[in-house]
Structure 1
């Protein structure tokens, strides 16, 4: 999953927003030496990604991209899921999206000073420049994917991949997301409850 979904699932489970986003940048075993709530968020991030990558709806969406784009299907679908989460936001969260993003960015920037090395630069820029709001629009999604594509070892205009989905495939993937996301919300809540009762280090 991408940034918006991880922020929302962190808020949904009342876990660390920053910790959940750090999961994209901090690898290796836990504990990391950071504050316990950051480690909890990193742990949840990994569980969210594992559940998503193994889910039939996500795999079906990836399979709708023809080569050579299918190789990057995980990235493409993660970004599409953030796009559809923006569009269907009120179905999953009572707070308006602009308010949610404003509060989330404020928390990320506040946590910047609580991390030994600060926020990873992409997260800091995201919070300062409000990247996520652009994901609601197809043009913003294309630009975000092109930005990711420029950072690949062999740069590619990833935004072009979206044009390969016809209307039927686009609609099918969107409906797949709407079916999948409530399952992910439930899974996240159950996983965090398990962590807090059986895994979290004491003290």
Structure 2
């Protein structure tokens, strides 16, 4: 759900490519033939970025540090934490507005249909600059998962490890930019 990071890494592409990057988490399966070419390319790009970040040494290190009970949910939280650092350290109002415009002009996939309008109306992409808001968003995602809210349970660890998370971001983000920016 790290819309801002994916937007940043795809911002030089067409609006369709950007749209594909933004909605990829709402698209199931690998068969993308029904999507226009540029949107399908954006979806694939998003998935390549996700795979690379999931294997990044900093993410693997943080996963080992995370509380064992929430470890399997840590990657979800880290995605939003990366958006927090982008929003707070490198705000890009023009990119955020472009994302909202691109998302607002098109129908989101069913899995994102309720969330996208709320994200636009609530200006989430800029509000991620506030770490408290980011933690509430992480806990909100946890409410949509089955069982106890492990993401909410993870937020104290995120707060305690904030400096470590920031250092990890400044290590991994240049790698992602170099590898995936067009």
TM-score, scaled relative to structure 2: 0.86
Q: Secondary structure at the match of 2:133?
A: helix
Give 1:163 shift: 1.6
Q: Does 1:172 align with 2:167?
A: no
Match of residue 159 from structure 1: 152
The answer to whether the Cα contact below 8 Å between 2:11 and 2:95 also exists between their aligned partners in 1 is: no
Q: Secondary structure at the match of 1:106?
A: helix
State which of 171, 175, 178 in structure 2 corresponds to 1:183: 175
Single out whichever of 9-18 and 126-135 deviates more from structure 2.
Answer: 9-18
Distance 1:128 1:12 in 2: 25
Give CA-to-partner distance per residue, 1:129-178, whole Å, 9 cap, x none.
Answer: 312222111210121012111111114162342322575x3212211111
The answer to whether the Cα contact below 8 Å between 2:70 and 2:153 also exists between their aligned partners in 1 is: no
Q: Secondary structure at the match of 1:24?
A: helix
Match of residue 105 from structure 2: 110
Q: Secondary structure at the match of 1:111?
A: coil
Structure 1 unaligned regions, length at least 5: 90-95, 193-203
In the superposition, relative to structure 1, how do residues 116 and 58 fare at CA in structure 2: closer, same or farther (>3 Å)? closer
Give 1:66 shift: 1.1
The answer to whether the Cα contact below 8 Å between 1:142 and 1:160 also exists between their aligned partners in 2 is: no
Distance 2:40 2:179 in 1: 18
Q: CA RMSD in A?
A: 2.5
Match of residue 8 from structure 1: 8
Query: Greater Rg, structure 1 or structure 2?
Result: 1
Aligned pairs for 1:67-78 (under 5 A) are 67-78=68-79
Q: Which has the higher contact order (CA 8 A, sep 6+)?
A: 2
